[in-house]
């Protein structure tokens, strides 16, 4: 049984886990960032002082054998006026289970049991914290939601990110995460928003050090598109180098999408200052082993990873691990 560990958050992690869920011969553990501060998640965090449930919930749903049904139910939102308006059923359920069990991690485990999740989903930390981005002009932006959605037509690039604890003088990694890193045969990083979904995991002290010393192979999934305010004009090489800087090691493998979206769709993305990440030749990333696959899903006018294609690609990668 191949032990597979994923690290990330948000929609990218959902696509990856959805692709892995049905693959034979693997044992999945997902480590999820805990800095989401927008929408229902942000309101629950601010009003009730809990850890943000949104990204964890996405990962649990991705690994549920009844994904379509559970997504329809748990991602439904209250529409009437009042305090519940805008909250998702799943976020509220995870909040309730966390309160009932006495800890967020136990609440996650309880919901995983209810959903029949295949694998484990672990918060990278159980300490509450705010993500801060330091820009190249010295300014700082506080909160994942504010970093994720830039205001105005121009913003300096992100120079660095770090976490500010809410109630303690430091932040600690959730101990089972370190065990999972040490035991993994292969560690999959990304895809996902680089500075607000992926790197926040490495901002937790101890995670980068554990990855650097991990005996397993490490693979990075490069994003298909850049994102305004985070990875403007990033090349595939820059994505890889930024991850390696935070993981404190060179990637063993790199996977990137080789299919180009339709030009009219790319033109629409340009209005959002988002561009296609061109695949680079394998030799340019040597000695890393580079995989090129068609991973593209552009249905509905949105560019993202196709879970079925992603799953086939991952199966091929696992077959060719050294």
The domain limits of the chain are 1-26+174-322, 35-119, 129-163
Q: What pLDDT is attached to residue 78? A: 56
Residue of 50, 48, 51, 6 lying closest to 28 (CA atoms) = 6
* Whether pLDDT at 154 is above 60: no
CB 5 within 8 A of CB 186: yes
Q: How many CB atoms within 10 Å of residue 263?
A: 8
* Whether pLDDT at 308 is above 60: yes
* Whether pLDDT at 42 is above 50: no
CB 273 within 8 A of CB 307: no
Band of pLDDT at residue 38, cut at 50, 70 and 90: very low
* Whether pLDDT at 45 is above 50: no
CATH entry, 1-26+174-322, from 3.40.50.10680, 3.40.50.720, 3.40.50.1220, 3.30.70.270: 3.40.50.10680
* Whether pLDDT at 180 is above 90: yes
Q: What pLDDT is attached to residue 145? A: 77
CB 50 within 8 A of CB 95: yes
Q: What is the mean pLDDT of residues 37-55?
A: 55
Q: What pLDDT is attached to residue 195? A: 93
* Whether pLDDT at 51 is above 90: no
pLDDT tens, 128-141?
888 999 998 888 99
**pTM score, two decimals?**
0.90
Which region among 85-99, 164-178, 257-271 has the lowest average model confidence (pLDDT)? 85-99
Structure tokens of 9?
Answer: 């958050």
Band of pLDDT at residue 48, cut at 50, 70 and 90: very low
Q: What is the mean pLDDT of residues 286-311?
A: 95
Q: What pLDDT is attached to residue 153? A: 60
Longest alpha-carbon distance in the chain: 58
Residue of 115, 126, 26 lying closest to 62 (CA atoms) = 115
CA 317 to chain centre: 20
Higher pLDDT, 306 or 168: 306
Q: What is the mean pLDDT of residues 212-222?
A: 97
Tokens 């308006």 found at: 85
Q: Over the chain, what is the mean pLDDT? A: 87
Higher pLDDT, 189 or 54: 189
Band of pLDDT at residue 73, cut at 50, 70 and 90: low
Alpha-carbon distance of 127 to 184, in angstroms, equals: 24
């Amino acid at each position: 049984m191949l032990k597979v560990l994923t690290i990330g958050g948000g929609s990218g992690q959902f696509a990856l886990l959805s692709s892995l869920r049905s693959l034979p011969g693997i044992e999945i553990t997902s480590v999820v960032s805990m800095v989401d501060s927008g929408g229902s998640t942000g309101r629950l965090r601010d009003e009730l002082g809990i850890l943000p449930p949104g990204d964890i919930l996405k990962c649990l749903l991705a690994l549920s054998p009844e994904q379509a049904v559970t997504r329809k139910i748990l991602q439904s939102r209250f529409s009437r006026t009042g305090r519940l308006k805008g909250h998702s059923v799943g976020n509220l359920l995870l909040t309730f289970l966390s309160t009932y069990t006495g800890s967020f991690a136990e609440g996650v485990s309880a919901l995983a049991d209810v959903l029949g999740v295949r694998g484990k989903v672990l918060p990278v930390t159980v300490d509450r914290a705010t993500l801060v981005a330091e820009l190249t002009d010295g300014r700082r932006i506080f909160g994942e939601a504010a970093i994720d959605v830039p205001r105005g037509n121009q913003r300096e690039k992100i120079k660095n990110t770090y976490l500010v604890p809410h109630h303690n003088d430091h932040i600690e990694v959730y101990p089972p995460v370190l065990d999972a890193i040490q035991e993994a045969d292969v560690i999959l990083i990304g895809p996902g928003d680089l500075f607000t979904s992926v790197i926040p995991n490495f901002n937790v002290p101890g995670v980068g050090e554990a990855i650097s010393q991990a005996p397993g192979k490490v693979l990075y999934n490069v994003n298909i598109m850049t994102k305004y305010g985070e990875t403007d004009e990033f090349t595939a090489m820059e994505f890889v180098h930024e991850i390696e800087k935070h993981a404190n090691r060179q990637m063993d493998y790199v996977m990137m999408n080789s299919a180009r979206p339709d030009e009219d769709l790319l033109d629409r993305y340009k209005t959002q200052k988002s561009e296609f990440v061109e695949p680079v030749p394998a030799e340019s990333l040597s000695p890393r082993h580079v995989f090129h696959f068609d991973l593209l899903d552009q249905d509905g006018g949105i560019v993202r990873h196709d879970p079925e294609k992603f799953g086939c690609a991952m199966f091929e990668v696992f077959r060719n691990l050294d």
